[in-house]
Amino acid sequence: MSEAVNRAWTMASRPDGEPIAENFEIVESPIPTPKHGEVLIRTQYMSLDPYMRGRMRSGPSYATPLQLGEVMTGEVVARVEQSESHLYKVGDTVRANIGWQEWAAVGAHTVRPVNSDLGPISTAVGILGMPGMTAYFGLLEVLKPRAGDTLVVSAASGAVGAVVGQIGKLNGCFVIGVAGSDEKCAYTIDELGFNAGINYKTQDVSAELARLSPTGVDCYFDNVGGPVSDAVFENLALKSRVAICGQISQYNASTPPQGPRNMAALIRTRTTIEGFLVYDFELQHEIARTRIANWIKDGSLKYKEDVVEGFEKAPEAFIGLLNGQNFGKLLVKLSD
């Protein structure tokens, strides 16, 4: 082990708008000694996710906001380096909510085993972890697509969106992805099998949707909100369903917009809108994890990871995630 100390990224100040480097600070501390019932773990991969921006603001949420000086929230994949618990042995791989840090001593019951038979360990916080679960349940339990439905997904090449579109295809949908570059759109069509892609930065999303699906959009898996969603709302089909998964276009806004827009369009179409949280389906996560792993093994599901090397790079990579610089599930790799 190269470092004699533990390093943790903390929130030094609350961002006003887009986060900047000065909002984050590395704090060093001794590598902790595990007590009875604890494990000492060393981070291999840190997951960077959009929800972390929400934790940096003070305001109502399902989770307590971060306090100044607190370690940035997040889930990691880690190796057990010392065990004072019968639950884990040295060398086991676990996922743990220890935030952006290199080492931690935590109660063994607070971490979850990672089964490397299901896939590479990094996928435990990606397609086989929280983002994969979000896609699976948001699509199958909230939108409930039927074969032949037109399904639109925004942030289509991302950790959640890419899985939504592919499971939509497995369920017989006509899948249209909306993403921020031609390269991302081409990937969702050529590699993932989506039917069509719309680059919201260069194309008229509403006109493209009308052209691609003249009968309207039956299911909209919304990851972004804002102008992309306005365009989808103009094209909803009768009895359409909208799942509000994320609103990333608003996360850096100092004053969030008040109220949804273009609601009149939903009267004619009798649309249902439902927000959801991945944790609503926690009891069913293991079933979904097994199904997704099987789909990966039989070639039905593909995934892309955007791996940034080095603990120091975390804030820069996170800032990039909020403006579309990632291409696939964003991870920071610390060690093998």
Could you say whether residue 165 binds ligand NAP (CB under 6 A)?
no
Which region among 24-32, 46-54, 111-119, 307-315 touches ligand NAP (by CB under 6 A)? 46-54
Q: Tell me which residue of 235, 247, 242, 170 sits closest to 198, measured CA to CA.
A: 235
- When asked if residue 180 is in the footprint of ligand NAP (CB under 6 A), the reply is yes
Buried b / exposed e over 104-136, threshold 16 CB at 10 Å, is bbbebeebeebeeebbebbbbbbbbbbbbbbbb
167 in contact with ligand NAP (CB under 6 A): no
* Cα gap 37→113, rounded to integer Å: 16
What, of ligand FER, ligand NAP, none, does residue 74 touch, CB below 5 to 8 Å by kind? none
Q: Which does 129 bind (CB under 5 to 8 A by kind): ligand FER, ligand NAP, none?
A: none
Among 38, 49, 208, 305, binds ligand NAP (CB under 6 A): 49
Q: Which of 184, 285, 289, 333 binds ligand NAP (CB under 6 A)?
A: 184
User: Does residue number 160 form part of the binding site for ligand NAP (CB under 6 A)?
Assistant: yes
Per DSSP, helices labelled H in the chain are 51-55, 130-137, 161-170, 182-190, 205-212, 226-233, 265-269, 285-297, 314-321
Q: Which stretch binds ligand NAP (CB under 6 A): 27-35, 55-63, 92-100, 323-331?
A: 323-331
Q: Does 50 bind ligand NAP (CB under 6 A)?
A: yes
How many residues touch ligand NAP under the rule CB under 6 A: the total is 31
> Chain centroid to CA 260: how far?
23
131 binds, among ligand FER, ligand NAP, none (CB under 5 to 8 A by kind): ligand NAP
Q: Which pair of structure tokens corresponds to residue 103?
A: 């080492």
The answer to whether 274 touches 142, Cβ cutoff 8 Å, is yes
155 is in the binding site of which of ligand NAP, ligand FER, none (Cβ under 5 to 8 A by kind)?
Answer: ligand NAP
Spatial separation of the C-alpha atoms in residues 277 and 142, rounded to whole Å: 10
Please choose which of ligand NAP, ligand FER, none residue 62 contacts, taking the beta carbon within 5 to 8 angstroms, the exact cut-off set by kind. Answer: ligand FER
User: Which phi and psi (to 5°) does residue 29 adopt?
Assistant: -155, 165
If binding is defined by CB under 6 A, does position 223 make contact with ligand NAP?
yes
d(Cα 279, Cα 205) in Å, to the nearest integer?
A: 31
Among residues 238 and 277, whose Cβ is nearest to ligand FER? 277
| Rounded distance between C-alpha atoms, residue 282 and residue 256, angstroms | 29
* Residue from 98, 278, 293, 308 in contact with ligand NAP (CB under 6 A): 278
Do residues 304 and 132 lie in contact, with contact meaning Cβ atoms separated by under 8 Å?
A: no
Amino acid (one-letter) located at 298: D
The answer to whether residues 95 and 41 touch, using CB atoms and an 8 Å cutoff, is no
Strand 103-107 relative to strand 174-179, pairing: unpaired
End-to-end CA distance of the chain: 12
Q: What residue 149 binds from ligand FER, ligand NAP, none (CB within 5 to 8 A, per partner kind)?
A: none
The residue (of 236 and 317) whose beta carbon lies closer to ligand NAP is 317
* Residue 73 binds ligand NAP (CB under 6 A): no
Q: For binding to ligand NAP (CB under 6 A), which residues are involved? A: 49-51, 130-131, 134, 155, 157-161, 179-181, 184, 223-224, 226, 228, 245-246, 248-249, 276-278, 321, 323-324, 326
